[in-house]
Chain A
Amino acid sequence: MSDVQLRASGITKRFQGVTALAEVTVEVERGSIHGVVGPNGAGKSTLLNIMSGFVPPTEGTVELEGRDITRLTPQRRVPLGMTRTFQNLRLFGGLTVRQNVLLGQHSHARTGFASLWPVPTAKERQLRQEADAALETFGLTELSRRRAETLPYGLQKQLEMARAVAARPSLLLMDEPAAGMTAQERRALVPRIRQLRDEGVTVVVVEHDMDLISQMCDVVTVLNFGRMLIEGPPDVALASDDVRTAYLGG
């Protein structure tokens, strides 16, 4: 019996007559790394935006833990355990690296009036430890007092992931985490994301880099022209004839 954490069913999205997604159904199992791949314009990012609440679907529903969240704003999905990262980084440039991570924890850290006081509550202390642990995981401890905008691009990507992880998500949606990273940074990414999964975080990742996807993911959904081509383990899904045609001949 499978344990579906996120279910996007019958998702159709039309932008002014253009169909970006047509009746796509994706079920993300708890504790898995679920890749979404496809050529440019296949609808990957649109699907991620619908899952995270940035874009409403024209038809279809999104369910998290069996609850219909189709109409919830992204802000309201955060307390339910859903966090996402962005293809175009969305960091607070003027804030320090550590403050960026702490802001990601806001919905957990806030304890009414007690959070107006500089002495941290027990909960805040706990979260700050987790923030420091996340900085450590992503190799940012030394840089925690630097302003985020002064970091090179690769490290800003790491920071965005650290911020997402520190927010204690049960489901993390990642939009092209490897884009713009060096080969070395890409290699380091795989074990980090796997470690997250091992710690109990379900990960949905949209990515161009097929190598990365095949190394990292447990399940892959391949989209083409807004339709689902195939879904399955990466070695099976990525080897299918349809996928080869879509990428090479499509």
Chain B
Amino acid sequence: MLIQQLVNGVLLGTTFALIALSFNLVVGALDRLNFALGETAMVSAICAALLVSQADVPFVVAFVLSLLIGAVVAALTYLLSFRFVSPKYHTAPILSSLGVGLVITSLVTRTFGSDQRRVPTVLEDVRFELGPLVVTGDQLIILVVAALLTGLLYVFLNRTTWGTAIRGVSDDADTSGLLGVPVQRVILLTFVLSGALAGASGLLTGLSFHTVSPFTGFETTLTALMVVVLGGLGNITGGVIAALLIGVVETLTVAYVSATFRDLLVFILVAVTLVVRPQGLFTRQSGVAARV
């Protein structure tokens, strides 16, 4: 049924939107991609899933912890892969953050094993039926939390002193520094926020599939990259729209074509976009190549 699949697609897209937001924040602040964000999402989700399923920690608490874990991991990634690398070396942070990602995966499998972890249903008895359309309680949680986080981020970036500083550094780091903005601290804060978003996205994705695997990190990074390229690098609104689009395309492919073609169609979509509109579907400015 098409409408149900569309709704499912949008819901999947909201989790992509969070991780894409997370990428775009860092792109904005540093003009660099943090390739460990997928693993950051994964480690937060695994820890939260373990707490919920084995220690009976309430989901809300586990969710807050996933934000915190994501934030800490991203801050460490910044210090290890970005802070002390000269801006001259464009590829160094890419390779080094990829390395941090590998280390995270390896630490997780060594510590917790390589099994998939279950994320139990949170709202078991809640179910909304609108004619033939069904939305589960968990899907509703995903939608509400993702919307809430996006809204909070928007308010933060536009209404607070630190948020304005992030936008300033994003726009022109040199001038921000000259005005007395502590640029390095602002960048660290941006990583912390982006890590928290990644953590949230990891746990919410886990909730939507009711399972988390320690090997999904790079896949998440790849999906986020697809979203970010499609929406325009650094373009926050474009990223959200692209995430929903990719969510819908993936869901429809699985439902009507075949699960094996799921990623293929998205990759084709992105490849065509790169050829036809390298600046992304929703951006009018410079191309991806010029910014990476």
A interface list, Cβ under 8 A from B = 74-75, 78-79, 83-84, 90-95, 99, 102-104, 106-107, 109-111, 115-118, 124, 163, 167
Contact = CB atoms under 8 A, between A and B. Distances in A.
Interface of B: 155-156, 158-162, 164-165, 167-168, 170-172, 174-182
Nearest to A108: B180
Given A78-B180, A92-B175, A115-B162, A99 B167 contact: yes
A88 B245 CA distance: 41
B167 A102 contact: no
Contacts of A93: 171
Contacts of B175: 90-92
Given A92-B175, A107-B181, 9 more contacts: A75-B177, A75-B178, A92-B176, A95-B167, A99-B164, A106-B176, A118-B160, A124-B161, A163-B179
Contact of B167 (A84, A90, A92, A116): A92
Contacts of B178: 74-75, 78, 84, 90
8 contacts: A90-B174, A92-B171, A94-B170, A95-B167, A104-B179, A107-B181, A110-B165, A115-B161
Contact of B171 (A94, A106, A117, A118): A94
Interface-central residue, B156, B160, B164, B167, by most chain A CB under 10 Å = B164
Contact of B168 (A75, A78, A83, A95): A95
A118 B176 contact: no
Contacts of B177: 74-75
Contacts of B172: 90, 92
A79 B178 CA distance: 11
Contacts of B161: 102, 106, 109-111, 115, 124
B241 to A, nearest CB: 19
